[in-house]
């Protein structure tokens, strides 16, 4: 599924649509170059769930946890990771397990170490705005993708 997102507001709106249809537990990969809109999409996702504070890419902290209305969401940014094995030393395996929905920017930095995602979102520039390619890679991801399609404007 490929969608055209006209601008930053449309990217946030798509993030909100993902959140409105999301399961409580899962793994989402967010791929795209710098400035592609990954964090903007996460901002829309978190706002839809009820988060009121700032949403920044956790480039230096690696992960930013959110507990919103009884749901746990973890936002990862692996951009600065030099070796996927660093994730083991940082205890990320435990973070990815359990009762949370995990959103991972720059998943290629964790290649060979990260588990397979439920959804993979790839953002690329388009004129105007950007395109998002949504790929389901698990049965749970396919169910989620269908819910997103059913709730499209």
Q: Judge whether 23 lies within some domain.
A: yes
Q: 50-107 pLDDT, tens per residue? A: 999 888 888 778 889 999 988 999 999 999 888 888 888 777 777 777 789 999 999 9
Total domains present in the chain: 1
pLDDT in tens, 8-24: 999 999 999 999 999 99
Whether residue 100 is contained in a domain is answered as yes
Q: How many other C-beta atoms can be found within 10 angstroms of the C-beta atom of residue 93? A: 12
Residues 6+ away with beta carbon under 8 Å from 64: 56, 58, 74, 75
144 in a structural domain:
yes
CATH number at residue 25: 3.40.50.300
At 88 the pLDDT is: 80
Instruction: Read off the pLDDT of each residue in 113-126 and give the average, rounded to a whole number.
Output: 92
At residue 152, the pLDDT reads 67
Per DSSP bridges, beta strands 71-77 and 101-105 are: parallel
Q: Which two tokens stand for residue 1?
A: 């599924």
Range of the domain at 114: 2-148
| pLDDT of the residue at 95 | 73
Classify residue 95: in a domain, yes or no: yes
In a domain, residue 153? The reply is no
pLDDT at res. 62 = 85
Is 93 contained in some domain? yes
């Amino acid at each position: 599924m490929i969608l055209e997102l006209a601008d930053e507001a449309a990217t946030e709106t798509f993030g909100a649509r993902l959140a409105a249809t999301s399961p409580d537990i899962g793994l989402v990969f967010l791929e795209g170059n710098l400035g592609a809109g990954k964090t903007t999409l996460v901002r829309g996702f978190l706002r839809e769930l009820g988060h009121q504070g700032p949403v920044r890419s956790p480039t230096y902290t690696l992960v930013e946890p959110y507990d919103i209305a009884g749901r746990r969401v973890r936002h990862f940014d692996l951009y600065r990771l030099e070796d996927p094995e660093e994730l083991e030393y940082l205890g990320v395996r435990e973070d990815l397990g359990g009762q949370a929905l995990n959103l991972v920017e720059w998943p290629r930095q964790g290649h060979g170490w990260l588990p397979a995602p439920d959804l993979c979102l790839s953002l690329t520039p388009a004129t105007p705005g950007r395109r998002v390619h949504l790929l389901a890679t698990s049965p749970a991801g396919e169910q989620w993708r269908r819910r997103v399609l059913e709730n499209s404007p």
